[in-house]
Amino acid sequence: MSIGEALLTARRVVVKVGSSSVSGDNAAQIPTLVSSLARLHAAGAEVILVSSGAIATGVPFLQLDTRPDDLATQQAAAAVGQNILVNRYQRALGSHDIIAGQVLLTAHDMENPTHRGNARRAIERLLQLGILPIINENDTVATHEIRFGDNDRLAALVARLIDADRLVLLSDVDALYTAPPTTVGATRIAHVPYGDALSGIEIGETQSGWGTGGAATKVQAARLATDAGVAVLLTETRLLAPVLDGADHGTRFDPRPGDSLD
């Protein structure tokens, strides 16, 4: 079974997309991404989107040229950008007759048993009602001390929370490599068996100017998910559609024994 077939026959799929893939000029990728989500939805999967991009989307509307360094301006940008970002998603989803539901979480929500239970019930009910939840960190109220650190980790925690069987981590990098992709001789790692320590692999911390996660955070998130029995695919946002068509892209991480993206 191809990776695409495994995703199209999945019961519940969490898809995470990074800031650089859905903000700035790349905001034009949102309809294509949504088409892939709609394809999964039509195939019978319950789909949850974890989307970064609130701050990056809001910054231009604050007449700023770069990501702000101070927390207050980041929070202001998030407040503006989250509204615009979800509106863009809903416009794209509307053409597929899908309604989005916004869920904003903080690290405290995932650590506190009561809040965690409330989040789980809300997401489960949205799925029962045929709504596509769009989840992001609540950047308007989160502080540096209580942040997830990146939405890769948030996506893995959400996948564990709702017992998903697949997690797709999308960014502007097509796969995990044996060294940073710009390094001469670096080759794609297509498959990571469960428990593989990736010894000898140089995993970089490189990240875009907008996102907060690099390859290392994605590997950490993948391990967090696979430990809970969730199969993971790491690939580039624009490659999700070809993957669903059967193309071999990205890096797949096997979950603990008993399930696989094969």
Binding residues for ATP: 16, 171-172
Report yes or no: 176 and 214 within 8 Å, Cβ to Cβ: no
Annotated binding site: 16, 52, 139, 151, 171-172
Q: 63 CB contacts (<8 Å, ≥6 apart)?
A: none
Annotated binding site for substrate: 52, 139, 151
Distance CA 167, CA 6 (A): 11
Q: In 3D, which of 239, 231, 236 has the Cα closest to residue 261?
A: 231
DSSP state, residue 235: E
Distance CA 67, CA 55 (A): 8
Q: 26 CB contacts (<8 Å, ≥6 apart)?
A: 20, 172, 237
Q: In 3D, which of 53, 15, 55, 57 has the Cα closest to residue 37?
A: 15
Q: What is the DSSP string of 33-76?
A: HHHHHHHHHHTT-EEEEEE--HHHHHGGGGT-SS--SSHHHHHH
Q: What region, left, alpha or beta, does residue 200 occupy, with left being phi > 0 and alpha being psi -120 to 50 degrees? A: left
Question: Pairing mode, if any, of strands 176-177 and 188-189?
Answer: antiparallel
Distance CA 17, CA 236 (A): 9
Report yes or no: 55 and 139 within 8 Å, Cβ to Cβ: yes
